[in-house]
Amino acid sequence: MYDPSIGQESLTAIDVAGVLFGHLLFGIAATLLIDWSWIPLSKQQKGNGRSLKQIKKSWGWDERSDSQNETIKNKNKKTSSENSKI
Average of per-residue pLDDT values in the chain: 77
Domain ranges, ordered by start, for the chain: 1-34, 49-86
Burial class (CB in 10 A: 0-12, 13-18, 19+), 69: exposed
Q: Is the pTM of this model over 0.75?
A: no
Does residue 66 have a pLDDT over 60? no
Number of C-beta neighbours around residue 51 at 10 A: 13
> Which tens digit of pLDDT belongs to each residue from 24-62?
999 999 988 888 778 787 888 778 887 777 888 888 876
* H/E segment holding residue 38: none
Q: How far apart are CA 60 and CA 71, in angstroms?
A: 18
Q: How confident is the model at residue 85 (pLDDT cuts 50, 70, 90)?
A: low
